[in-house]
């Protein structure tokens, strides 16, 4: 993969894709981890005095229309503070007139790239049209939005067809870590999977069964596993469409002698609410009308013991509804067990990264906190990601 080392930025117009998809509550950024993660690459390029840096990024899913709820304005303010330099927010129409007059100098963030429907279009020719506009003035494309490299989108993938493309330091580090886990994990290697999207995660389970020594399943996805094992799960989250795939994964785990560990007890409630009545039940005795929203204390211990004896740990997805305090204990216990673990520890982005920050745990307590939940899962699944493939080909 080509990196910043293979190119000089002095006097160049740089186009850079970042991942600034941060949570914003009442106009305020509640977690700026992804903006912080972009700083090393930006500083390194700025130190070489480029003519300009034009950053593209998205926020949420505005679905191809201009919607100020998804404006990158708060991001631009934060970025400017972190870089200690002026950063300009550019509306799409202003960018395209500036590009034609070749007036770009300094640091710019283009307003949410997903305001333009061509960014995520299924039509290659529409994406190419946008990619050509974005690269009109660019001498080089730096890809540093790891969280989006699994997307075949104009600003991530198609732009690399028109200018030399290199990976920034964030992508370089993410790939180094995930390659180590994928190709050469120290053993025992344990993966903790949680979250709610079973269908998305089932493919990665299949791939991990061939690599990991143990697989701990928590979160909303655990109930589809429990159901596939023949237990009633009451009103818990259940993905019936994934049952057959889950059964086949369970069989593969047995054949490969992988420890597949599902919850033995769960915290249940009648409502998806932090104030409703709740109780702890064995996982094989969830009653109708109750839904499992966190792992119970016995499962916490089971998971923690497994994590403690691991030499490599990867965690993707909260093991309970951690956003609600009464159902956050399981996720907290997993996070602390990983902190205590002396092995190589990786937090696989998305909600698990948000959970450790919400717990006030410093990123330094882990070997790596990924900025890409979906991207890291697809990488571990063994897929070739378009936003990385375009950094491999000859310039
Ligand atoms: P994902 O995007 O698949 O990683 O899912 C993350 C979401 O899963 C978080 O918002 C959690 O609140 C949610 N989650 C975790 N455990 C459960 C559960 N037992 N039931 C429903 N949702 C859950």
* Ligand 1 neighbour 220 (Cβ under 6 A): yes
* Ligand 1 neighbour 237 (Cβ under 6 A): yes
Residue 195 alpha carbon to ligand 1 centre in Å: 4
Q: What is the pLDDT of residues 221-272, one digit of tens each?
A: 999 999 999 999 999 999 999 999 999 999 999 999 999 999 999 999 999 9
Ligand 1 pocket test, pick from 321, 333, 355 with the greatest ligand atom count within 8 Å of Cβ, gives: 321
Cis peptide preceding 3, ω within 30 of 0: no
Give the Cα separation of 320 and 235 in Å (integer).
Answer: 15
Give the Cα separation of 303 and 305 in Å (integer).
Answer: 6
Element (H, E) at 315: strand 312-316
Q: Phi and psi at residue 28, in whole multiples of 5°?
A: -110, 140
Q: Phi and psi at residue 103, in whole multiples of 5°?
A: -100, 5
Mean pLDDT of 40-51: 97
Give the per-residue pLDDT at 394. 59
Same domain flag for 209 and 132: no
Select the more confidently predicted residue: 355 or 102: 355
Residue finishing a domain among 171, 195, 224:
171
Give the Cα separation of 73 and 109 in Å (integer).
Answer: 9
Candidate list 161, 197, 203, 298, residue with the active-site label: 197
CATH number for position 167: 3.40.50.1260
Same domain flag for 277 and 369: yes
Select the more confidently predicted residue: 198 or 130: 130
| 280 in Cβ contact with 258 (< 8 Å) | no
Q: Flag whether 53 is in a domain.
A: yes
Residue 23 alpha carbon to ligand 1 centre in Å: 16
- The question of whether 34 is a catalytic residue gets the answer yes
Confidence band of 101 (pLDDT split at 50, 70, 90): low
Give the Cα separation of 369 and 86 in Å (integer).
Answer: 28
Structural domains in the chain (count): 2
Strand partners, 267: 280, 294
Give the Cα separation of 353 and 322 in Å (integer).
Answer: 12
Q: What is the pLDDT of residues 161-194, one digit of tens each?
A: 999 999 999 999 999 999 999 999 999 999 999 9
Same domain flag for 216 and 310: yes
Q: Which of 23-27, 258-262, 292-296, 311-315 has the lowest mean pLDDT?
A: 23-27
pTM of the entire predicted model? 0.90
- The question of whether 270 is a catalytic residue gets the answer no
Give the Cα separation of 345 and 115 in Å (integer).
Answer: 37
Same domain flag for 141 and 273: no
Q: Flag whether 266 is in a domain.
A: yes
Q: Flag whether 136 is in a domain.
A: yes
Residue finishing a domain among 141, 171, 201:
171
User: Which are the contacts of 43, defined by CB distance < 8 A and separation ≥ 6?
Assistant: 83
Candidate list 145, 194, 296, 350, residue with the active-site label: 350
Mean pLDDT value across the chain: 94
Mean pLDDT of 298-316: 98
Residue 258 alpha carbon to ligand 1 centre in Å: 24
Mean pLDDT of 146-169: 97
Reference 356, options 387, 390, 318; nearest CA is: 318
Same domain flag for 230 and 372: yes
Give the per-residue pLDDT at 200. 82
Same domain flag for 87 and 196: no
CA-closest residue to ligand 1 atom 1 = 195
User: Which are the contacts of 300, defined by CB distance < 8 A and separation ≥ 6?
Assistant: 329, 330, 333, 334
Give the Cα separation of 259 and 310 in Å (integer).
Answer: 13
Residue 349 has pLDDT above 90, yes or no: no
Same domain flag for 230 and 345: yes
| 211 in Cβ contact with 189 (< 8 Å) | yes
User: Reduced to 3 DSSP states, what percent helix, strand and coil does the chain have, rounded to the nearest 5?
Assistant: 40, 20, 40
Domain that holds residue 35: 4-171
Give the Cα separation of 44 and 333 in Å (integer).
Answer: 38
Reference 201, options 179, 217, 182; nearest CA is: 217
Q: Collapsing DSSP states into helix, strand and coil, what is residue 100?
A: helix
Same domain flag for 228 and 307: yes
Same domain flag for 119 and 230: no
Q: Flag whether 323 is in a domain.
A: yes
Q: Flag whether 18 is in a domain.
A: yes
Same domain flag for 121 and 192: no
Residue finishing a domain among 119, 149, 171:
171
Query: What are the start-end ranges of the H helices in 27-138?
Result: 33-46, 73-83, 92-100, 124-134
Residue 100 has pLDDT above 70, yes or no: no
Give the Cα separation of 292 and 315 in Å (integer).
Answer: 20
* Ligand 1 neighbour 324 (Cβ under 6 A): no
Q: Flag whether 299 is in a domain.
A: yes
Q: Flag whether 389 is in a domain.
A: no
DSSP state of 184: -
Residue 15 has pLDDT above 90, yes or no: yes
Q: Flag whether 46 is in a domain.
A: yes
Same domain flag for 151 and 244: no
* Ligand 1 neighbour 234 (Cβ under 6 A): no
Same domain flag for 78 and 160: yes
């Amino acid at each position: 993969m080509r990196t910043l080392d293979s190119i000089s930025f002095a006097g160049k117009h740089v186009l850079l894709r970042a991942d600034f998809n941060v949570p914003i509550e009442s106009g305020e950024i509640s977690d700026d981890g992804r903006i912080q993660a972009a700083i090393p690459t930006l500083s390194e390029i700025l130190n070489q005095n480029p003519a300009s840096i034009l950053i593209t990024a998205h926020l949420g899913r505005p679905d191809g229309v201009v919607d100020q709820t998804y404006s990158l304005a708060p991001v631009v303010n934060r970025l400017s503070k972190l870089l200690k330099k002026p950063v300009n927010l550019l509306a799409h129409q202003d960018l395209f007139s500036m590009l034609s007059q070749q007036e770009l100098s300094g640091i710019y963030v283009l307003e949410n790239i997903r305001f333009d429907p061509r960014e995520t279009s299924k039509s290659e020719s529409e994406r190419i049209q946008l990619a050509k506009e974005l690269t009109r003035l660019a001498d080089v494309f730096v890809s540093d939005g790891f969280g989006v490299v699994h997307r075949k989108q104009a600003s991530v993938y198609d732009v690399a067809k028109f200018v030399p493309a290199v990976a920034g330091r964030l992508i370089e580090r993410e790939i180094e870590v995930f390659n180590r886990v994928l190709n050469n994990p120290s053993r025992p290697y344990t993966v903790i999977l949680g979250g709610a999207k079973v269908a998305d995660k089932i493919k990665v389970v299949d791939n991990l069964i061939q690599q990991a020594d143990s697989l701990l399943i928590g979160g909303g996805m655990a109930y589809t596993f429990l159901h596939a094992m023949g237990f009633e799960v009451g009103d818990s989250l259940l993905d019936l469409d994934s049952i057959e795939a889950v059964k086949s994964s369970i069989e593969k785990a047995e054949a490969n002698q992988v420890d597949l560990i599902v919850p033995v007890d769960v915290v249940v409630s009648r409502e998806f609410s932090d104030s409703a009545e709740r109780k702890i039940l064995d996982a094989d005795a969830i009653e109708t009308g109750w839904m499992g929203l966190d792992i119970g204390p016995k499962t916490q211990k089971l998971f923690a013991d497994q994590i403690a004896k691991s030499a490599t740990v990867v965690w993707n997805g909260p093991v309970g509804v951690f956003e609600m305090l009464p159902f956050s204990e399981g996720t907290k216990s997993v996070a602390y067990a990983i902190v205590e673990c002396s092995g190589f520890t990786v937090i696989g982005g998305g909600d698990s990264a948000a959970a450790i920050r919400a717990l006030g745990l410093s990123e330094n307590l882990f070997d790596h906190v990924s900025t890409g939940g979906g991207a890291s899962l697809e990488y571990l699944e063994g897929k070739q990601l378009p936003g990385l493939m375009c950094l491999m080909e000859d310039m």
